């Protein structure tokens, strides 16, 4: 290797390591939890690094949050004064395995200075959230600490007061945690959801901190058969757009999900769980055997809930593929306490796309997936018995096919297909086998109904 090439490779390695340190990204070839000392950054970040090493010593082991929006070992967020970001660093001193430290570093006229350094006996940083917890007009850091030894979690709140950061230990365990203003009092609450553990039943709690004191302002029972959560989404949950809450998609088994919704009822001052059946201690109304989780659809900010039904000709026992289900997306009507369907789709999670099913197809069209050719075909469903709904596949109305970009450019099997989307070396295309059928769609209808599934 030439001298110039060695210099170029070293420069690329330095840039990559700095990017990983401050962006929260990682590469599978690098163990982020044991990244001892990345190449020294420059400018203000170099000052933060120097201040960290004053207490941590040389070559500290940086620790990374395992979940949530913030995944960096060094997180930048305003905690002391509005408009000025502070640094929050997670680390272990070299050779020290007794817990994890979190250091808060604030920029002063004399440079970056530590304003707090705390040790927690946890083995992992589970999650980091921010919010104005104590109502002082500034965000606090809410850190969920985890332990691999007993699979437990606990919450600590870190706030700035009298020139330094202070720690408030809440002694609250959780499976999922959300920080948000649930009751519109201009202060954020801490929401926790816990699955059943031993004799402790599944429960959701809403926590408030005032004058350094923890108050449980509401609680609600959760599905006792859920073992973990596949997805947790917080935000607007009602069709009107006026209600905020948390939507939990829980795993009851490897292939079965159930959705629970929690929100604060201002009139009764209670935490509500509208889908929970107190007699059965479950939320089976939203139970489904697909991977569909609650999410916003399109440009809407409203969290929608999936309820799935087998396509004609299939049952939950014989549907071979998730594309043999109709996923009906629903919005919550808080006035009636019911779910209102907003759209119906067929979801192909394997190839990562959805197709909006028009209302005229509901109950009249079914599907077949050929995984070997990556082709999803929609057929007219010919009913033989109106009472039972039994019938057979009729005319093919639409084929959705996934080509490699190379196959598409070579025109291998592309006759009759229209390109829908070109993405990541794949071409998603559609064919209309029977354009004269009354149920057939135009290519513009198909393009408008086709969408790639967002990768979270």
Decide if 29 contacts 109 (C-beta within 8 A). Answer: no
CA-based diameter of the chain, in Å?
Answer: 83
309 beta partners = 326
Sign of CA dihedral 407, 410, 415, 420: positive
CA 249/CA 252 separation, integer angstroms: 10
| pLDDT for residue 40 | 58
**Euclidean distance between CA atoms 212 and 252, whole angstroms:** 37
Return the HEC string of 317-361. Answer: CCCCCHHHEEEEEEEEECCCCEEEEEEEEEEECCCCEEEECCHHH
Q: What is the pTM of this model?
A: 0.85
Cβ 134 vs Cβ 142: under 8 Å? no
Per-residue pLDDT of the chain (456 residues), as tens digits, is 544 444 444 444 444 444 444 444 333 333 444 444 455 566 778 899 999 999 888 889 999 999 999 999 999 999 999 889 999 999 999 888 789 999 999 999 889 999 999 999 999 999 999 999 999 999 999 999 998 877 789 999 999 999 999 999 998 999 999 999 999 999 999 999 999 998 899 999 999 999 889 999 999 999 999 999 999 999 999 988 889 999 999 999 888 999 999 999 999 999 999 999 999 888 988 999 888 999 999 889 999 999 999 999 999 889 988 999 999 999 999 989 899 999 999 999 999 999 999 999 999 999 999 999 999 999 999 999 888 888 999 999 999 999 999 999 999 999 999 999 999 999 999 999 999 999 999 999 999 999 999 875
Provide the pLDDT for residue 28: 34
Where do we find the tokens 């759209």? 343
């Amino acid at each position: 290797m030439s001298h110039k090439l060695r210099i170029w490779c070293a420069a690329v390695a330095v840039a990559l390591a700095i990017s990983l340190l401050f962006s929260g990204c990682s590469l599978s070839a690098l163990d982020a939890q044991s990244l001892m000392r990345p190449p020294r950054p420059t400018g203000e970040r170099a000052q933060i690094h120097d201040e960290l090493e004053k207490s941590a010593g040389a070559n500290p082991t940086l620790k990374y949050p395992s979940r949530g929006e913030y995944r960096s070992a060094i997180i930048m967020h305003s905690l002391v004064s509005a408009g000025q970001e502070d640094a929050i660093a997670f680390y272990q001193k070299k050779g020290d395995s007794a817990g994890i430290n979190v250091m808060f570093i604030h920029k002063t006229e004399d440079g970056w200075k530590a304003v707090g350094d705390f040790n927690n006996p946890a083995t992992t940083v589970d999650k980091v959230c921010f919010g104005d917890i104590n109502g002082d007009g500034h965000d606090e850091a809410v850190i969920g600490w985890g332990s691999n030894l007993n699979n437990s979690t606990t919450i600590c709140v870190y706030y700035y007061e009298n020139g330094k950061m202070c720690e408030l230990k809440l002694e609250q365990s959780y499976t999922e945690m959300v920080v948000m203003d649930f009751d519109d009092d201009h202060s954020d609450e801490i929401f926790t959801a816990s699955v059943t553990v031993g004799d402790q039943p599944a429960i959701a709690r809403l926590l408030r901190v005032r004058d350094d004191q923890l108050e449980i302002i509401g609680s609600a029972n959760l599905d006792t058969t859920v073992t973990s959560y596949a997805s947790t989404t917080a935000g607007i949950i009602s069709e009107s757009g006026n209600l905020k809450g948390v939507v939990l998609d829980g795993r009851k088994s490897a292939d079965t999900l159930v959705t629970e919704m929690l929100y604060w009822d201002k009139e009764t001052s209670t935490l509500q769980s509208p889908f929970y059946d107190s007699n059965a201690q479950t939320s089976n109304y939203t139970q489904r055997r697909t991977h569909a989780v609650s999410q916003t659809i399109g440009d809407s900010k409203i969290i929608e809930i999936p309820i799935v039904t087998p396509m004609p000709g299939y049952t939950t026992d014989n549907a071979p593929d998730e594309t043999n289900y109709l996923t009906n997306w629903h919005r919550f009507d808080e006035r009636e306490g019911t779910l209102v369907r907003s759209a119906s789709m067929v979801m192909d999670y394997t190839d990562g796309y959805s197709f909006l099913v028009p209302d005229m197809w509901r109950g009249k069209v079914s599907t077949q997936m050929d995984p070997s050719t990556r082709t999803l075909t929609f057929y007219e469903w010919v009913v033989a018995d109106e009472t039972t709904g039994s019938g057979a596949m009729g005319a093919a109305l639409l084929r959705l096919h996934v080509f490699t970009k190379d196959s598409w450019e070579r025109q291998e099997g592309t006759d009759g297909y229209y390109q829908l989307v070109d993405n990541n070396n794949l071409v998603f295309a559609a064919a209309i086998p029977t354009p004269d059928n009354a149920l057939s769609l135009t290519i513009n209808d198909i393009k408008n109904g086709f969408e790639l599934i967002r990768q979270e």
